[in-house]
Amino acid sequence: QVRLVESGGGLVQPGGSLRLSCAHSGGTFGAYSMAWFRQAPGKEREFAAAISYGGKTTEYVDSVKGRFTISRDNPKNMVYLQMNSLKPEDTAVYYCAARTGGPLNSPRAYGYWGQGTQVTVSS
């Protein structure tokens, strides 16, 4: 059974940085494309970034392009989200997910999810 555990969330001032981590266990990590989604209070879960199983291809939602970087370390079974120049509108619970089939930016394409980590951007 695949298990995903996120860490690294917290409270940060606008303009600050955070690095989220996601540890994968229970499956063949290198076989999955991975993504980060986020969900703000009262809003639907939103695609933020994705990375191919080999790490060569990445995709971002327009609102985070140039500020967020997704990466993965396959030998360590880890995926990361480096978030720079954070804005209050980035405040959300961030979820790590493993893709099992379907469009890269659709939550329905991901069959495995972590429990989420809270990111709050506020002064």
Q: Are 49 and 55 in contact (CB under 8 A)?
A: no
pLDDT tens-digit map of 88-102: 999 999 999 999 998
* Rounded average pLDDT over 45-49: 97
pLDDT at 27 exceeding the cut of 90: no
pLDDT of residue 89: 96
Phi-psi region of 26 (alpha: psi -120 to 50; beta: other; left: phi over 0): left
pLDDT at 64 exceeding the cut of 90: yes
The model's confidence at residue 29, banded by pLDDT at 50, 70 and 90, is confident
pLDDT of residue 99: 94
